Structures are given as structure tokens and as C-alpha cells.
Structure 1
Amino acid sequence: MIGVAAELAGIHPQTLRSYEQRGLVNPQRTSGNTRMYSQADIERLELITELTDEGINVAGVIRILDLQGRLDERDSEIDDLHKKVRRLADRVHELETRQNVNSLVDEDGAPMITVRRLLP
């Protein structure tokens, strides 16, 4: 709830309401319209407090949080692309292996090379 969240973040409940009005935090609501703050909300509030304590105004905090959100999205996209590249590399390896095996047999599946057993 708002009092607990404000205390955990080290800010006044009215400051927390102000942050909510400005869109800096968006807590879930119960059916009775009570604010319910998640751990992520509390961590966000702690970051906001840290930034404002360093002298950054609320407009600057909004900009920083927006940029952080964009950076997180890009990181996620990069992770997804790395996974795709790994899958494609695995597929290329599989196709190359298949091609190598196929180059060792003729159209009927018979070996194109003869293996001789060396007698002692």
C-alpha cells in the first residue's frame, strides 16, 4: 500500500502520489481501488529517489527512465537476435554435415569410396 511503499522508498506518500500522477510509477489496484506496489515498483521508486537526491529534476528522471526502458527493450531484442543466430548456425552446421555425408554416397546410396581392410 502507499504508506508502506513510501516508507520503503524513503519518500513521503504525497510525493509518491505525485510520481504516480506524472506516470513515474503505475501500481496495481485492488477491487477497492487500493494501490498495491510490487517489488519492481519499490525498486523503481528507490532509483527515482537516488536520481533526485543527485540533483536531477523530475523531468530529467522521466527522460532517464524512458531511455532506460528503451535500452532494456534493445537488450531484449539483441538477446532474441543472438538466439536466432545460434539456431541458424546450428542449422547451417546440420546442413553442411548432411552435405558431407551425401557427398560420400552416390545417387543409389552406395558408398563412393571403397574401404579396404589391410591384412597383417
Structure 2
Amino acid sequence: MDQKGKEFINDSEIDWEELGGGLKRKIMSYDDNLMMVKVAFEKGGIGTLHSHFHTQMSYVDSGSFEITIGDKTGVLKKGDAYYIPPNIVHGALCLEAGVLVDIFTPLREDFISK
């Protein structure tokens, strides 16, 4: 189901996309300027260090994560959030199974192009 411009987003209607390595994601909604994505991690799952030109903010919906942003690392848990400026190397290690809600601007075209 295409989530582009979806105004009312029902989680139960969106299928998980398996990413491997104990990660899966759901694209909740997006337009050309903004995207919301849920990423579920099993304990020990790794969001490999990477960078992109998008600005990103993420909310810890559940679980516990060791987050690296540039040369800083911190542990965040349910209710916490973090900000990643464009082109900064970042990654995540899941310490306790959980879900991150990622917001990107502009949208991550690489997530929707198949």
C-alpha cells in the first residue's frame, strides 16, 4: 500500500518490511519534504554506522538503544529522542528490543524506490 500523502495512518494496515539482522521497518507516511518510518529492532540488532544528506530526528517508542552520533554515544530508552544533522555518521545498537520512530526531511527516496 502506498503511504504517500496518507493523512490518517493506521499502523495495523501497514506491513513490516524485513531488513535482516533483527530489523524491520514500516513507512508510515511521507511527501516530498517529510517522512515518518518505524523501525523495530530485536535485542542485539544493529543500525550500521552510516550517513545521509537528510536531517533526522528519532523517538524511542520502546526498548533501549545505544546511539552513536558523530563522536558521541549515549544510551536512550522509551520516551527519549535524538537529532542527527545532515551528513553526520550515526548508528544504533539495540540493548533491549524496541522500536524507533524516525522522521526525515526530505523524504528518504531510497526507502520507496524498488
TM-score of the two chains, using structure 1 as the length reference:
0.20
Return the structure number with greater helix share. 1
Higher RCO (CA < 8 A, seq sep 6+): 2
